Homo-oligomer: A and B are copies of this chain.
């Protein structure tokens, strides 16, 4: 039969290369030819694994989000008080995203594409939105546990979870264009402290 199945590792290599190239050049300017070169294969081969540039976008989105959710869920299952869990969740999420600068840039563009798709009355990339929703649910669960344990004040969970996630996104976003790592760390500590203080009873 088939002497060689299509190599799944090669599909991965293409995605990895795509993340690198698209983060560097943008979703539109990023060339399939460059991705192929980066992955060490021919341009035609890319199309043996993905039927279009758009399909590569989707695959990238899935990969990035599942990486992010995995990291967050591991954190969620750690044995910590709600207070420490939330604090750690925020700090680690910011650092994870910050390390994954490539991913952040791409997600931003995919997210913007989604917003535009909605404007056009089309369907956005649902994976991304489901993932975003499940992140929020994770935060809400921590908050509820904290209220139950009388560590946090009573609150509107959705609003506070939104504040937390907005802070994470916005914070990374602000520092994406700054290279002052020391300022970044100082602001991060103070930002999280201030946020946590807002939850006190």
**A interface, CB within 8 angstroms of B:** 23-29, 101, 105, 108-109, 111-116, 118-120, 124, 129, 132, 155-156, 158-160, 162-163, 165-171, 173-174, 176-177, 179, 183, 186-191, 193-200
A119: contacting residue among B24, B112, B116, CB under 8 A: B24
Q: A28-B29, A166-B171, A197-B200 are in contact. List 19 more A-B contacts (CB 8 A).
A: A24-B116, A26-B28, A28-B28, A105-B115, A109-B109, A111-B176, A118-B179, A132-B174, A156-B190, A158-B183, A160-B190, A162-B171, A166-B173, A167-B170, A170-B173, A194-B198, A195-B195, A197-B197, A197-B198
Residues of B within 8 A of A162 (CB): 171, 174, 187, 191
Work out how many copies of this chain go into the complex: 2
B116–A105 touching, CB < 8 Å: yes
What residues on B are CB-neighbors of A171 within 8 Å?
Answer: 162-163, 166, 170
CA distance A27 to B115 in the complex (A): 14
Contact of A167 among B29, B105, B166, B196 (CB under 8 A): B166
3 A-B pairs with the lowest CB-CB distances in the bound complex, closest first: A159-B190, A166-B170, A198-B198
